[in-house]
Chains A and B, each alone.
Chain A
């Protein structure tokens, strides 16, 4: 492989890893916010256990979302400095807005939520997880706006050899954004719904002591994936109109875009069929149908696979352009980049993040297997200082 292939491989590997974790973050965040709200309103312990259990899965998943995201952010400057040089005045704006206006708040509020159990006032603690959810969605908006600019450089004109922002609104009304953003958010709900569904099926199959919790969450998983699949498939097909306008031969070029698109649609349609005609009508009885639970568990990875295939189709369909019609990937590569530099960083990022991703999934599986009783997120109340002093005096 030459240096360009290596740099592209590095972006594909870190980008795919990043989206594997981000897609679940986007889907689980609203579910946890809703569960936490039910706990705050009713005060029922079963909702507290549910919030802590699903919340722990969410935060373990979130760790790799951050770590892969850091590498993504810095990778632009490392390997693709031609991009910021040529289009930074435009492309940099949504990225800067994402880091300051969304991720900065998301991370701060998530820290408050994780470590604020039994410390923060009840309603403020609840507000933290809603803030995390809102900022995660805002993050998705800005990152998708930046990516859509690469697919269709709207709102910018070329002056003196580089792009200048002329119409910020056009970044947000970009036809490659307006249909793709709901598509991605729907895929998040679908993935989150399937993880909740699969984990609940596992616990029910194992004759969990938490019957009420997992009966309810299995139904939540079905309804969430039903809604998610409708949004994903609907806005997925709606994208074809916009794409044929700005990238008419997007899926005709290489093997990867067509193949990725084809398999994604196949998985998506098949699953949507199963959700619509089997799972949703049977949602009331499904928690009791033990024979069906292994099938539900087996389906859990499919939305993840479809999501990665979708991204491969979207991104490889843009080749050889980095910014469609304006800047090629080859021209965007940092001048002076050598195979040695990319190889070392590819092994470092790919190796470390790949290994950590594997560990992360094993830890999520372990959290699912051990159930709500073993969740360490928000476990126990802090010892009352007076009571502790009293105990120490004996």
Chain B
């Protein structure tokens, strides 16, 4: 049971980096690859159907952290206080940018929210990079030390690569000028998820030491595992519905 819930936690966190990482990367690259408003609309349209299904993995990570690792939930989030605040504010800005950019007319309105998407995505990447380094250091030192900025830049570069590969796969030969296969996207997903996977492997014994008691885990298993096929099915459905094999979306879409 302990191994099962450690596995669920790891899967959700790795899934977040793989599936939301390209949205963060594409958001960071929005002003770089999207020189014109039309290009930016095209980028947002490409990522839009994946955002809701991608970011929800982190919501689930936080839920499982609370449910299956209650002894360390507070320790981890409190230990990373400034980074978690930065992450949440960035996430909020990025999402607000996506939801609001096409809700009113005028180029100034849309440009403003496009910058919010870019700033929010950069903030997400940087806070993740710093958080992973801080977690690897065991939360002992100050939340932001010397190694954290380096981690932030590495994570930002990996997300940017993942976002660039996604756009080259979803919009071949368009905003990036390149074409990438689904295999390349899988490769960049592995790259984006590699740092957190290593960290999880290192922290696994510590996580196993702080699992909720068997009674709580049994309740979680009974209440959640029956929904697992629907959750997986819905995620697969998103990818089947909005992959590049389908007819191009009207541009711009709702976002």
> Are the C-beta atoms of B56 and A108 separated by less than 8 Å?
yes
Say if the beta carbon of A105 comes within 8 Å of chain B.
yes
Contact of A70 among B48, B78, B88 (CB under 8 A): B88
Beta-carbon contacts under 8 Å, A81-105 to B: 81-85, 87-93, 95-101, 103-105
| From B53, B55, B63, B89, contact of A95 by CB (8 A) | B63
B66 interfacial contact with A, CB 8 Å: yes
Partner of B60 from A76, A104, A377 at Cβ < 8 Å? A104
How many residue pairs at the A-B interface have CB separations less than 8 Å? 224
Report chain B residues within 8 Å CB of A103.
56, 59-60, 63
Q: Across the interface, do B103 and A111 meet the contact criterion of CB distance under 8 Å?
A: no
A73–B51 contact, CB under 8 A? Answer: no
Knowing A95-B63, A376-B102, the reply to whether A74 touches B77 (Cβ < 8 A) is yes
Known: A101-B224, A111-B49. A70 touches B234 (CB 8 A): no
Any A CB within 8 A of the CB of B208: no
Which residues of the partner chain B approach A77 to less than 8 Å between Cβ atoms?
62, 65-66, 73-74, 76-78, 84
B93 touches A (CB below 8 Å): yes
Stretch in A28-36, A162-170, A247-255, A311-319 with 4+ CB within 8 Å of B? A162-170
Taking a contact as CB atoms closer than 8 A, the residue among B88, B100, B220, B227 that contacts A349 in the complex is: B88
- Structural contact, B230 and A366, CB atoms closer than 8 A: no
Q: How many residues of A contact B (CB 8 A)?
A: 75
A164 with B56: in contact, given A88-B70, A88-B71, A115-B242 (CB under 8 Å)? no
Q: CB-CB < 8 A to B215: which residues of A?
A: 89, 164-166
> Are A100 and B231 neighbours in the complex by a CB distance under 8 Å?
yes
Among A85, A112, A377, A378, which residue has its beta carbon within 8 angstroms of that of B70? A85
Any chain B CB within 8 A of the CB of A297?
no
The answer to whether A81 touches B67, judged by C-beta atoms less than 8 angstroms apart, is no
- Interface hub of A77, A89, A105, A110 (most chain B Cβ within 10 A): A77
Residues of B within 8 A of A112 (CB): 49, 53, 234, 237-238, 241
- The reply to whether the CB of A114 lies closer than 8 angstroms to some CB of chain B is yes
Among candidates A78, A96, A111, residue contacting B220 with C-beta atoms closer than 8 Å: A96
Q: Which of A92, A108, A166, A363 contacts B66 (CB 8 A)?
A: A92
User: In angstroms, how far is the closest chain A Cβ from the Cβ of B77?
Assistant: 3
- A88→B220 contact, CB < 8 A: no
A108 to B59 Cα, complex, angstroms: 12
Q: Which of A330-375 contact B (CB under 8 A)?
A: 334, 336-337, 341, 344-345, 348-349, 352-353, 356, 359-360, 363, 366-367
How many residues of chain B are within 8 Å of chain A by beta carbon?
66
Which chain B residues numbered 220 to 255 have a C-beta less than 8 Å away from chain A? 220, 223-224, 227, 230-231, 234-235, 237-238, 241-242, 246-250, 253-254
Flag if B100 contacts A111 (CB, 8 Å). Answer: no
Interface residue ranges, A against B (CB under 8 Å):
59-60, 63, 66-67, 70-71, 73-74, 76-78, 80-85, 87-93, 95-101, 103-105, 107-112, 114-116, 119-120, 164-166, 168, 334, 336-337, 341, 344-345, 348-349, 352-353, 356, 359-360, 363, 366-367, 376-380, 382-385
Known: A63-B100, A77-B65, A84-B70. 11 other contacts (CB 8 A): A89-B215, A89-B216, A92-B67, A96-B67, A97-B223, A99-B62, A108-B53, A111-B49, A115-B253, A165-B216, A376-B254
